Amino acid sequence: MNYPFWDEPMGYGVLMAVIAVFHVFVSHFAIGGGLYMVVSERIARKAGDTKRLKFIEKLSKFFVLVTLVAGALTGVGIWFVIGLINPAATEALIHNYVWGWATEWTFFVVEIASAILYFYGWKRMAARDHMIIGWIYFVFAWLSLVVINGIITFMLTPGQWLATGDFWDGFFNPTYWPSLVMRTGVCGMLAGLYALLVASRIEPGDFKARMVRYSAGWGIVGLVVTAVCEYWYWKAIPAAVVEKALQIMPTPIHSIEYSVWLAMGIGALLVVFGVLAPRKLSSPAAALLMVLGLVWFGCFEWFRESIRKPYVITGYMYGNGVELAKADRYKKEGYLAQLAFKTGDDGADLFRHACRSCHTLDGYKALKPAFDGTDRAFIAAIIRSAHLLRGNMPQFLGKPEEAEKIADYLYQRMDKRPLDEVYGLQGVELGRKAYALRCGKCHVLGAASDKSKSFAGQSADDLNSMLNAAADMGEGMPAYTGGAKERAGLVAFLEQLGKGVKK
Ligand code: HEC
Ligand code: HEC
């Protein structure tokens, strides 16, 4: 915790997603586009096909602009953002991979320079020279993926690096190869999809049919490579990581299951238009394909980022920048003792460093809805038990009195009226809300740690005694501290759960 905290209102997750999603799309486009252009240029020149050459020239304008402007700007943007939102993790990545980054930047400079020359050279260079430049553009764009892929995959599966600290162990980690081949397939697929979009606007005729068929071929080959490698990638992730994610964060895992359907849909559309009816491809259909392709790829990236929780670098650093190796020191000396920059408001500082990198008070992953209408003691208990909650959170490593300070800070900002008044609820509905806030954070109905069965056949008295003994029911389970009205509602709701009426 050697850095001050940047208190931006949007929520780190949102900010990162906005810029990273854009960058990831653009950078894969740029690589695939490079290959598409040189290969197509060669085919066109061999056949003396000037129409096709014109088509590629038109495409190159977009690809080059995208690489130069959007790719470079968002790439630098990512550095700004990660440096601000997780300086500790950024520092770790730089320390371990400084030569990797330097290599990647060198490749990127060559990529940029050759992209400019390629675009400039259409009318001013001999065919052979122009194609050589095109190949240099593609190869160096792809090489930058070769390098950066080692660092991105390292964050999810550092493999032997955790034991050896060796550059190459971290670089060629368990998901390196599947990810590299898969991303190469994505590059090809996205390039094909974009070319389809442009081809869909050509006036109807033989030439359009030819370009649509050809570009759909790129999409299909890219999709097949990607689909096979996605399975390979999935198998390369340590079973324990997937297991844990399935229990506490089922949504991203399901998203990857749904994405299989999405991929099949894209494949079907590509076959329909590319093979069966290339003349019929309209711009809206091509745009739909493009959107589906991006959504599909977005699902994969979301999945990859999500299953890494609670870590930013698996097994090495938590999402809030705390190194696992320092966990004992945090517990012994306390959290505050580790902070180099303090504002004087301990509760605020602790909240920022321990929670705020993943949560906001009332925006992204908001804590107000989680705590409004509850009480200070409950909030403190939840902080101490953060690692037990659904969602895969890091353990709170501070001293118990520091958890109290965060609880104070949060409680001051919550709605302090009783739960029934906050939400205007009565009876069983009030109980359902109480369950969601006070129990469901750990016992998700129908999923992780569901305790519904324990309530079967219990009377209201039994359930009341259970709530009295809540703090003794499990290590880390909070005492029940809700008011009388809320408690009556909760008991009614639990009775109903026990009867299996509402599960
Ligand atoms: C590394 C990121 C991370 C950190 C740090 C973190 N959380 Fe979380 N927290 C999550 C995620 C992810 C979830 C699941 C949220 C979801 O599914 O929308 C979650 C869920 C929660 C929930 C449950 C919300 C609900 O109603 O179900 C609470 C309460 C919570 N966190 C409080 C805290 C507090 C207090 C801290 C600081 C001591 C903290 N978190 C630190 C990531 C984090
Ligand atoms: C911070 C997390 C947390 C919260 C919140 C929480 N529990 Fe628990 N609960 C646990 C843990 C941990 C255990 C013990 C391990 C286990 O059985 O899974 C447990 C166990 C239980 C058990 C099983 C006890 C047994 O002997 O079989 C029941 C029933 C239960 N909780 C009900 C509740 C109810 C009702 C609420 C809300 C008022 C609640 N819990 C809130 C963490 C929590």
Residue 265 Cβ inside 6 Å of ligand 1? The answer reads no
The whole-number average pLDDT for the span 179-183 is: 97
Q: What is the pLDDT of residues 287-318, one digit of tens each?
A: 999 999 999 988 888 888 888 888 999 999 99
pLDDT of 502 over the 60 cut:
no
> Where residue 101 falls among pLDDT bands split at 50, 70, 90?
very high
Q: How far is the CA of 350 from the centre of ligand 2 (A)?
A: 27
Residues 395-405: tens digit of each pLDDT: 999 999 999 99
Across 41-64, average pLDDT? 93
Nearest atom in ligand 2 to the alpha carbon of residue 494 is: 35
Quote the ligand 2 centre to 477 CA distance (angstroms): 6
Higher-confidence position of 255 and 490: 490
Could you read off the pLDDT of 2-45 as tens digits, one per residue? 888 888 888 888 888 888 888 988 899 899 999 999 999 999 99
CATH topology identical between 324-412 and 419-498 = yes
pLDDT at 251 over 80: no
Residue environment code for 141-179, b if the CB has 16+ CB neighbours within 10 A, otherwise e: bbbbbbbbbbbbbbbbbbbebeeeeebebbbbbbbbbbb
Q: How far is the CA of 472 from the centre of ligand 2 (A)?
A: 9
- For ligand 1, whether the C-beta of 13 sits within 6 Å is no
Is the beta carbon of 385 within 6 A of some atom in ligand 1? no
- State if residue 443 touches ligand 2 by the CB under 6 angstroms criterion: yes
The protein residue with its alpha carbon nearest to ligand 1, atom 1, reads 319
- What pLDDT, on the 0 to 100 scale, is given for residue 7? 82
So what's the pLDDT on residue 137? 95
pLDDT digits (tens, 9 = 90+) for 260-271: 889 999 999 999
Average pLDDT of the chain, as a whole number: 92
- Whether ligand 1 lies within 6 angstroms of the CB of 396 is answered as yes
Of 355, 396, 405, the residue with max ligand 1 atoms within 8 A of its CB, to mutate for a pocket test, comes to 355
Task: Name the band, by pLDDT with cuts 50, 70 and 90, for residue 447.
Answer: confident
pLDDT score, position 259: 83
| 93-102: burial string, b at 16+ Cβ within 10 Å, e else | beebbeebbe
* The pLDDT of residue 254 is above 80: no
- CATH fold, domain 12-318, is Formate dehydrogenase/DMSO reductase fold (1.20.1630)
C-alpha 164 – ligand 1 centre gap (Å): 32
Contacts of 272-280 with C-beta under 8 Å, sequence gap 24+, read: 273/196, 273/212, 273/216, 274/212, 274/213, 274/215, 274/216, 274/217, 274/219, 274/220, 275/213, 275/216, 278/208, 278/209, 278/210, 278/212, 278/213, 278/216, 279/204, 279/205, 279/208, 279/209, 279/212
- List pLDDT tens digits, range 343-370: 999 999 999 999 998 899 988 889 999 9
pLDDT at site 35: 96
CA of 442 from ligand 2 middle (Å) equals 7
Q: Supply the residue whose CA is at minimum distance from atom 40 of ligand 2.
A: 439
| Amino acid 305: pLDDT | 84
Residue 280: C-alpha distances to residues 194, 213, 214, 260, 386 (Å):
17, 11, 14, 26, 55
Going from the Cα of 443 to the center of ligand 2, the distance in angstroms, rounded, reads 7
| pLDDT attached to residue 1 | 63
- Nearest CA, atom 27, ligand 1: 441
List the chain domain ranges. Answer: 12-318, 324-412, 419-498
What is the model's pLDDT at position 448? 75
pLDDT of residue 503: 45
88 pLDDT above the threshold of 70: yes
CA of 339 to the centre of ligand 1 (A): 21
Is 232's pLDDT higher than 50? yes
Residue ID of nearest Cα to ligand 1 atom 17: 391
Which residue's alpha carbon is at the smallest distance from atom 42 of ligand 2?
477
Q: Domain 419-498 belongs to what architecture?
A: Orthogonal Bundle (1.10)
CB of 309 closer than 6 A to ligand 1? yes
Ligand with smallest separation from the Cα of 441: 1
pLDDT of residue 248: 66
What number of other Cβ atoms are within 10 A of residue 440's Cβ? 18
Query: What fold is seen in the domain 324-412?
Result: Cytochrome Bc1 Complex; Chain D, domain 2 (1.10.760)
Tell me, in angstroms, the distance from the centre of ligand 2 to residue 451's CA.
7
474 in contact with ligand 2, CB cutoff 6 A = yes
452 Cα–ligand 2 center, Å: 11
Q: Report pTM.
A: 0.89
